[in-house]
Structure 1
């Protein structure tokens, strides 16, 4: 029998995730245009609203941190409305989910962002320690589309205490996302009478989407596969956090999406809904895809909202703060990771001097870090040190240091001296993890990438003598790594000797401004080799 129009309809679900403060379609390091950013996605969002009768728009988290614009607002202009929130208000978002980076600037700034939002922020599994209620008060939303009752449940990776500063999350309890989903999905179905349940989860997948084989240590950071496998009643799973591009797949029968990061894609799911003979609504089909903003004109209203913040940010970024003697430009990021580079040595030296620790590690966070020119500006600082990390000095054993170096050495595929050196799947799949390859100062070592992973560290010395596996050493590193982030479990729970609660970008800027001039230096304390012989340098 042919159904009447009121017995079938389509609901379009749009997802953004991991925008990380990217409104403007430019690169802050060089002003070059890029085919991404919220201003471009806004054009796609408005187009979908014009074409579709029923549209549900959700942001999946990591919204308010990540660019110089976001940093400038948080540190220097926080009395003004948050530009990211203003943009989402303008676009009429139905809800946003709390991401792990929402906590980076502290609870005061997060609370301000929530208060300024014309939409609710969702998070079912982060609860107040005092009463075990969701800390923002709203775990889900309910919307009606042509008689269809749609629920959106918000979940956040519970792994945040392993990265975030304790004072930023004081009084909060981070519950397992799967267990929380089981409780709330059942409640949405049975008590709220939801016809459709969508879970928006700021987390990714811990297993291969098809085989179910683990693709990372099962720490609980990412539980997307388990959500699909273990929680009954999920009609659509929106994911993020990993910055993966998943245009549409089914995991244990559940349609899933993940729209990359920095406004590179807009997730879209079209739910075809029908009413059965008993009058109950059910999903007849789901079509998923990712829409690219490439070629789209940035939305004029979004540009106008961001413009006053952007102008202040650009002025701030171009203020010279010091002069460099020598060369710290990054011309080839792989070369930086094969042998010591002046930029890495400088960052490590600053960390050691500020903290007083004799050993340090840091990373080249991504492959577009430009390094430092002769005249250094704030733009150069934030273009190279892109995260709001602080520093911690922790006490570890020589055995811990060697284990960390072996973890780092797994960045490279095994190399036989022929062809290109490649990044291993462990550091590139499901997303690039350049920020998890550490380079050290204060010790000497070699990484032999012709050997199997776990057997690559050689020549490990400290102050001219072999590093004592049972000895204790104080090492300065960023707070993410000190908490074990990036699968550096050997650092987790180690005694904290000193905590320096100032963003590393600010520390670098202050260091340069105080001296006026810095010099490029190299002590060549480490290198990557192959065939196991020091003379076979790459």
Structure 2
């Protein structure tokens, strides 16, 4: 790269950290440095999937978080612009819902005519050129959405969201928004001269919003296939004089083959003639990058190209700024792309100890724009949203059916039943898989869920569901349900019958992989060896730890089909559970599991998280096992269903020991 005379080369991290306070210190992009008199460098920046994260703050945990926030992403915009010859800024959707600030505005404060949403206020500060809609923009209804959009200083476009029925010709669809916008920008070339360039932006939303938000959209809207809409409107953009066409695709990257009304269609969208670059999102992943999209034909994960076109996906919650850099050349009266680079630039990194280190600070103007709503949201999350009639704790989550897992399963089942009730899977029995996240271990003797009886606030949900996983459901057989539980039972050491005080827990087995499946009943036979190793490989074909597995009071039919609601991690193959992978997924929800729990609590008013005791250990007469948990567990030891537990004194490092009588 070229550097200005008299200055030493800088690392990008030092640049982002604010060292480059003077524009003279900025490291120019190679395209800006080498552009000739008839060439120009254009950098287009992307934010995507902000989900109302204006501040670097986790409202669930009620503490700051250095991995997120538009205020952080925004702080690097000035330096990123300074690296470029010319720049533009777009948002790729899912800005309106996703954390308690969004819920506070929608459900508490509301939007009157003339109000500005805090996210829109923040975005107006930054000078966006265009934006498109994501699926979560519809979660609060159309009236709310259009009140929000009315406060924006920049245009929103969407080519595949129609009012009512689809027309025979996509260009005759009655759309809610303009399908595209053409922005005439004055471009400075390599010689310093300026010339006009027409940059066209066209937007797309996943067609699946008609399922995910049917209650808000049915009878009011319809969606068209993304690629079909692009094939209709892109030629019109060219006819109108667009020099380059940029797709704002709130749709991910899926290489499984093009299909009608595809959710993650960005790869095939890039193949549409006339599209010059694609901004993607929706999947909360990073492209280009080291791992997320390896092995997909047509996706160059190193160069950042889809079907040979420059593309980027910038993470989620403001974790990255997406950059597409174009070297443009004047060709007669128009411009053409002669080279490109793509990058998803992060706002933080992890040091050698895996500790999160912020690379940037807040942009004060963004903080100021949403400060009042941030403070109001803090009061909101600290306020009770429901009640619990029984304590929620995870002290015994690994040794008995547990209330902290039970409430998650109850919420997941409630959610999926409503969404599948009218579809092709409405007649399949529904099971729910959930695991304990706060269960001691390396987290220490205080690392447990502990919510007392009484009021429950939104922030308490962080104790119930730590991770921002999203809801997914898989269709599996009874035999696969059994093997799912067999894999989960790797949590326990083998215990020989008649042994006294054998160590119970396998400390190398992470608690987040210990799935309890509700909707069936079963026992775990600890005298058996594990059936699968940690990678899901069958190592003991004759071993069956899962005993007396029943559905509806009868031994489970190995061939019967079940819908199991879980999270994207497990459904996508996380934990390497046998045969549980993306090919079994029949539902991908737009909501996080944590948000589903919040909604369930609000819906129920008072929740009863008492465990139903659907699983237990198979009796082994004369046998006991020892495990450790938090010392506060002593308050609840006598309440555990299906297990006899005795206090066995103090353990190490602040833990308490308990004896399980088998």
Answer whether contact 2:130 2:155 (CA < 8 A) is retained.
yes
1:328 to 388, 393, 402: 393
Partner of 2:31: none
State whether structure 2 residue 258 is matched by structure 1 residue 227. Answer: no
What's the secondary structure of 1:116's corresponding residue? coil
Counterpart for residue 520 of structure 2: 443
Pair 330,490 (structure 1): closer, same or farther in 2 beyond 3 Å:
farther
Q: In the TM superposition, what whole-angstrom CA distance separates every residue of 1:104-151 from its partner, at most 9, and x where no partner exists?
A: 111121111111212121110122225743532311111123322111
Is 1:377 the counterpart of 2:467? The answer is: no
Q: Partner of 1:221: helix, strand, or coil?
A: coil
Partner of 2:182: 142
C-alpha distance 329-305 of structure 1, shift in aligned 2 (>3 A): farther
Q: Is the 8 A contact 2:404 2:436 kept in 1?
A: no
Residues 461-519 of structure 1, C-alpha deviation per residue, up to 9 Å, x if partnerless?
2343235689999x9979x9xxxxx8767689xxxxxxxxx9752441464x647xx66
1:402–1:7 CA distance, 2 compared to 1 (3 A): same
Q: Do the aligned partners of 1:206 and 1:218 also contact (CA within 8 Å) in 2? A: no
Distance between the aligned counterparts of 1:139 and 1:169, measured in 2?
21
| Aligned partners of 2:323 and 2:345 also within 8 Å | yes
Structure 2 distance, partners of 1:387, 1:101, is 15
Name 1:496's counterpart in structure 2. Answer: none
User: Does the 8 A contact of 1:25 with 1:35 survive in 2?
Assistant: yes
Aligned to 1:104: 139
Tell me what 2:601 maps to.
508
Task: Tell me which of 213, 228, 238 is aligned to 1:179.
Answer: 228
* Cα distance, 1:5 vs structure 2: 6.1
Give yes or no for contact 1:413–1:449 (8 Å, CA) kept in 2: no
Flag the 1:156–1:345 CA change in 2: closer, same or farther, 3 A. Answer: same
Structure 2 equivalent of residue 91 of structure 1: 126
Q: Distance in 2 between matches of 1:139 and 1:186?
A: 12
Describe the SS at the equivalent of 2:371: helix
With over 3 angstroms needed to count, the CA separation of the structure-2 counterparts of 1:157 and 1:143, relative to structure 1, is same
2:305 to 250, 258, 279: 250
Give distance in 1, aligned partners of 2:314 and 2:436.
19
Aligned to 1:299: 363
Alignment of 1:1-150 (within 5 A): 7-28=38-59, 29-79=61-111, 80-130=115-165, 132=167, 133=173, 135-145=175-185, 146=187, 147-150=196-199
Given the superposition, is the C-alpha separation of residues 365 and 143 from structure 1 closer, same or farther in structure 2, using an over 3 Å criterion? farther
* Correspondence 1:160 to 2:194: no
SS of the residue corresponding to residue 13 of structure 1 reads strand
Assess if the C-alpha contact under 8 Å between 2:53 and 2:317 holds in 1: yes
**2:215 and 2:138 mapped to 1: Cα distance?**
10
Residue pair 2:246, 2:276 contacting (<8 A) in 1 also: yes
Q: Which has the higher contact order (CA 8 A, sep 6+)?
A: 1
Task: Give, in angstroms, the shift of residue 421 of structure 1.
Answer: 6.0
Match of 2:242 among 194, 203, 210: 194
- Match of 1:62, SS state, is coil
Partner of 2:639: none
C-alpha spacing 1:48/1:521, structure 2 compared with 1 (3 Å)? same
Deviation digits for residues 437-458 of structure 1, max 9, x if unmatched? 98543322589656779x9998
Mapped to 1, the partners of 2:537 and 2:184 lie a distance apart of: 56
Gaps of 5+ in 2: 1-33, 168-172, 188-195, 289-302, 349-358, 422-427, 440-447, 494-505, 525-530, 569-581, 589-594, 618-662
TM-score (norm 2): 0.61
Name the CA distance, whole Å, in 1 between partners of 2:229 and 2:130. 19
- Matched position secondary structure for 2:52: coil
Post-superposition shift, 1:307? 1.2
Equivalent residues of 1:204, 1:222 under 8 A apart: yes
Match of 2:18 in 1: none
User: Is 2:565 aligned against 1:525?
Assistant: no
Q: Distance in 2 between matches of 1:19 and 1:388?
A: 16
Residue 346 to residue 290, structure 1, CA distance change in 2 (3 Å):
closer
Deviates most, 230-239 or 160-169: 160-169
